[in-house]
A and B are shown apart, each in its own frame.
Chain A
Amino acid sequence: MDTAPTTTQGPDEPDDPETAAAAPPAAGNDRFSTVQSSAEFGELRRAQRSFAFPLTIAFVSWYLLYVLLSNYAGDFMGTTVVGNVNVAFVFGLAQFLTTFLIAWWYSRHAAAKLDPRAEALRARLEAGE
């Protein structure tokens, strides 16, 4: 009987500093700094940034390449591929294709590498570690 109240009190307690932290962050913030410098959080951050940042640079460059080619390589873009379909058209459709592929790829990455780590950390925070 004695253990029951303590276990219910456990998860309740961290709620207090949490709601207090929402207004003037005081002691509650230390928890975030501790989590932020933990190895697990470092892994989560790395998994997110090392995927999203290079990929963003890649697709923006790929898109700008298309914009620049349209501007300064008109002859090349006008080259016939088949019938009335030219390189410019194929380039445009390729942008659609890569967008769909990147969205799909990111979702797979997030489900495998980000979600489990985020969930574990969140559970730890919620348990008031």
Chain B
Amino acid sequence: MTGMTSALQSGLPLAAGAASEHRTLIITLFSVFVAATLAITVWAGRQTKDATDFYAGGRSFTGFQNGLAISGDYMSAASFLGIAGAISLFGYDGFLYSIGFLVAWLVALLLVAEPLRNSGRFTMADALAYRLKQRPVRTAAGTSTIVVSIFYLLAQMIGAGALVALLLGASGEGSRRWIIGLVGLVMVLYVTIGGMKGTTWVQIVKAVLLILGTMLITVLVLNKVGWNISTLLGRAAEESGKGKAFLEPGLQYGKDGTTKLNFISLGLALVLGTAGLPHILIRFYTVPTAKAARKSVNWAIGIIGAFYLMTIALGFGAAALVGSKSITASDPSGNTAAPLLAREVGGGAGSTGGAVLLAVISAVAFATILAVVAGLTLASSASFAHDLWANVIRKGKTSEKEELLTAKIAAVVIGAIAIALSIFAHRLNAAAVVALAFAVAASANLPTILYSLFWKRFTTQGALWSIYGGLISSVGLVIFSPVVSGNEKALFPGMSFDYFPLGNPGLVSIPLGFLLGWLGSLLSKPQPEADAKYAELEVRSLTGYGAH
């Protein structure tokens, strides 16, 4: 036994050494967060009585509250862990994520948030199916909601896996499963007990914690470089060993024509994905009016924008102060750069300050992941229960009680899927995987949302072609991409069926989704009452008349 423990101790990588001494602190902080949020959830659960409460938090949130919750729903492991990692390893190229993730909000603000709020009730499909044939369109939209959410979940589990590996080291395989299981359980509790109200408050608390944590690290990083961004960039470039190239575009994507196309593909997916993300779209239903939805997006843009500006300090700070060698040693895709940076600015490995900051930032990262995972679970289980079960399978003949029970069962199943996905949670960068979810959302959901709201001639066939075409092409191209096979960093490094050269499918699948929606509509006859239905949708979506 003693031999085994000493072997384990000596086998612990550097990254885990200091952390494990202060494991109690990390566990305490995280337990406080979980206990507090579960208390909120139980409180919210007591006020959750009907479907509007469960799916939309009773539409009782203010624009500011929802803006915070949107930020908490949006800034995921990808934003916090993934972007910091991508910038710390690839410099300027990683910054594209921050820019794309932010600019994308304008699509939501200008075109989607308000009309969607006015014309839908609980799910994305509510608005899409409004003027089209309910059952086929709900089936399609429900399917794509679940697929997008699962991609997004995978990214979160990658973040969770990287964190656990950092905190527990190689010895933690058993604890790792245990912790991931716990994450799954807590998130299922949030959703099934607290519904949208509980989930929203968890996201609000998390957004505040994440912003405060990031601000703290940013201040400490800037303090180390004499509050001079230029010095920070200079040191990052120097430490990276790449020199000036680290601060210029092209380090990751500039190799050849293909990687450049991949950069465009990624850029396109980022900017068009947000307004098609189901778990973000349903947040607009939690406020009473379109005006409040607009207000919440404005708050979100402010909060998220401030956060992404700070990713400069996180990413370049990690490159300058931690160094890419230590970062890749801890996680090959850089997912642990932010917590490593926290330890460094706290005083370094082995110091109390370093351990405390590492613990704080890791707890914040866990909170981040939990809140996003809860939002995703809610969106997909709501869509399963409301779209697929109540409206398609049971053809609208369910009671509200049955529908809500279905949603809760679906949440448990999706929680199980998320836990199962964590097996694959290695090697990939969380931001890159979330970018895949963005590509699927932009290809399968956004065309139908826009056509449905703004194009009179749009038909059911157009919607189905667009949703299924966008969904199948984007997911299909991912399967045959270098992300899944053909290289060491892939999901299945041992196999190679990487026939499609781009890591992100957006460049092909997004235009295809739009094209199919247009073509499918033109090649079909509009339904006889199509004009009247579009009149109703247009009037309702612009005036807010009869909004639930």
Whether B545 lies near A95 (C-beta < 8 A) is: no
| Interface presence of B234 (CB below 8 A) | yes
Whether A100 lies near B544 (C-beta < 8 A) is: no
Q: Specify which chain A residues have a CB less than 8 angstroms from the CB of B538 in the assembled complex.
A: 32, 36, 45
B247-303 residues with Cβ-Cβ distance < 8 A to A are 247-250, 253-254, 260, 263-264, 267-268, 271, 290-291, 294-295, 297-298, 301-302
Q: Specify which chain B residues have a CB less than 8 angstroms from the CB of A89 in the assembled complex.
A: 92, 233, 247
Whether A100 lies near B305 (C-beta < 8 A) is: yes
In the assembled complex, the Cα of A110 lies from the Cα of B292 at a distance in Å of 12
Whether A74 lies near B264 (C-beta < 8 A) is: no
A46-76 residues with Cβ-Cβ distance < 8 A to B are 48-49, 51-52, 55-56, 59-60, 63-64, 66-68, 70-72, 74
A72-B305 in contact given A82-B230, A95-B102, A122-B543 (Cβ < 8 Å): no
Whether A100 lies near B301 (C-beta < 8 A) is: yes
In the assembled complex, the Cα of A18 lies from the Cα of B547 at a distance in Å of 11
Q: Specify which chain B residues have a CB less than 8 angstroms from the CB of A36 in the assembled complex.
A: 535, 538-539
Determine the residue in chain A with the shortest Cβ distance to B115: A48
Determine the residue in chain B with the shortest Cβ distance to A110: B294
| Interface presence of A11 (CB below 8 A) | no
Q: Specify which chain B residues have a CB less than 8 angstroms from the CB of A56 in the assembled complex.
A: 106-107, 110-111
In the assembled complex, the Cα of A21 lies from the Cα of B229 at a distance in Å of 59
Whether A71 lies near B253 (C-beta < 8 A) is: yes
Whether A45 lies near B109 (C-beta < 8 A) is: no
Whether A121 lies near B248 (C-beta < 8 A) is: no
A32-B106 in contact given A63-B267, A71-B254, A78-B248 (Cβ < 8 Å): no
Whether B294 lies near A96 (C-beta < 8 A) is: no
Number of A-B contacts (CB under 8 A): 164
Partner of B298, one of A25, A63, A103: A103
In the assembled complex, the Cα of A27 lies from the Cα of B310 at a distance in Å of 55
Q: Closest CB of chain B to A41's CB: distance in Å?
A: 7
Partner of A125, one of B105, B237, B545: B545
Q: Specify which chain B residues have a CB less than 8 angstroms from the CB of A103 in the assembled complex.
A: 105-106, 109, 297-298, 301-302
Stretch among B75-83, B144-152, B417-425, B526-534 lining the A interface: B526-534
In the assembled complex, the Cα of A64 lies from the Cα of B99 at a distance in Å of 11
Determine the residue in chain A with the shortest Cβ distance to B450: A56
B100-137 residues with Cβ-Cβ distance < 8 A to A are 100, 102-103, 105-107, 109-111
| Chain B interface bracket (under 10, 10 to 19, 20 to 34, 35 or more) | 35 or more
Whether A32 lies near B309 (C-beta < 8 A) is: no
In the assembled complex, the Cα of A96 lies from the Cα of B308 at a distance in Å of 9
A70-93 residues with Cβ-Cβ distance < 8 A to B are 70-72, 74, 77-78, 82-86, 88-89, 92
Q: Specify which chain B residues have a CB less than 8 angstroms from the CB of A52 in the assembled complex.
A: 110-111
| Per-position binary interface string of chain B over residues 58-101, scored 1 when its CB falls under 8 Å from any chain A CB and 0 otherwise | 00000000000000000000000000000000001101101110
Whether A25 lies near B301 (C-beta < 8 A) is: no
A77-B99 in contact given A84-B233, A102-B106 (Cβ < 8 Å): no
| Interface presence of B536 (CB below 8 A) | yes
In the assembled complex, the Cα of A25 lies from the Cα of B528 at a distance in Å of 12
In the assembled complex, the Cα of A96 lies from the Cα of B291 at a distance in Å of 24
In the assembled complex, the Cα of A72 lies from the Cα of B261 at a distance in Å of 11
| Per-position binary interface string of chain A over residues 93-121, scored 1 when its CB falls under 8 Å from any chain B CB and 0 otherwise | 00110011011101100100001001001
Whether B263 lies near A122 (C-beta < 8 A) is: no
Q: Closest CB of chain A to B456's CB: distance in Å?
A: 10
Interface size (A, Cβ < 8 Å)?
56
| Interface presence of B542 (CB below 8 A) | yes
Q: Specify which chain B residues have a CB less than 8 angstroms from the CB of A126 in the assembled complex.
A: 545
- Highest count of chain A CB atoms <10 Å: which of B110, B454, B531: B110
Q: Closest CB of chain A to B419's CB: distance in Å?
A: 36
In the assembled complex, the Cα of A48 lies from the Cα of B453 at a distance in Å of 12
A32-48 residues with Cβ-Cβ distance < 8 A to B are 32-33, 35-36, 41, 44-45, 48
Whether A70 lies near B103 (C-beta < 8 A) is: no
| Per-position binary interface string of chain B over residues 343-384, scored 1 when its CB falls under 8 Å from any chain A CB and 0 otherwise | 000000000000000000000000000000000000000000
Determine the residue in chain B with the shortest Cβ distance to A66: B99
Determine the residue in chain B with the shortest Cβ distance to A126: B545
Whether B532 lies near A29 (C-beta < 8 A) is: yes
Q: Specify which chain B residues have a CB less than 8 angstroms from the CB of A107 in the assembled complex.
A: 294-295, 298
Q: Closest CB of chain B to A24's CB: distance in Å?
A: 10
Q: Specify which chain A residues have a CB less than 8 angstroms from the CB of B95 in the assembled complex.
A: 92
Q: Specify which chain A residues have a CB less than 8 angstroms from the CB of B98 in the assembled complex.
A: 92
In the assembled complex, the Cα of A22 lies from the Cα of B100 at a distance in Å of 38
Q: Closest CB of chain B to A95's CB: distance in Å?
A: 5
The 4 closest A-B pairs by CB, nearest first: A83-B230, A70-B249, A67-B267, A84-B233
What are 28 residue pairs bridging A and B, where the CB atoms are less than 8 Å apart in the complex?
Answer: A29-B535, A32-B532, A35-B535, A36-B538, A45-B538, A45-B542, A51-B110, A55-B110, A56-B111, A71-B254, A83-B231, A85-B233, A86-B247, A92-B92, A92-B98, A92-B99, A95-B102, A96-B99, A103-B105, A103-B106, A103-B109, A103-B298, A106-B109, A107-B294, A118-B542, A121-B542, A121-B543, A122-B544
Hey, which bits of chain A sit against chain B, CB under 8 A?
18, 21-22, 25, 29-30, 32-33, 35-36, 41, 44-45, 48-49, 51-52, 55-56, 59-60, 63-64, 66-68, 70-72, 74, 77-78, 82-86, 88-89, 92, 95-96, 99-100, 102-104, 106-107, 110, 115, 118, 121-122, 125-126
4 A-B pairs besides A18-B546, A103-B105 with CB distance below 8 A are: A68-B264, A72-B260, A96-B305, A99-B301
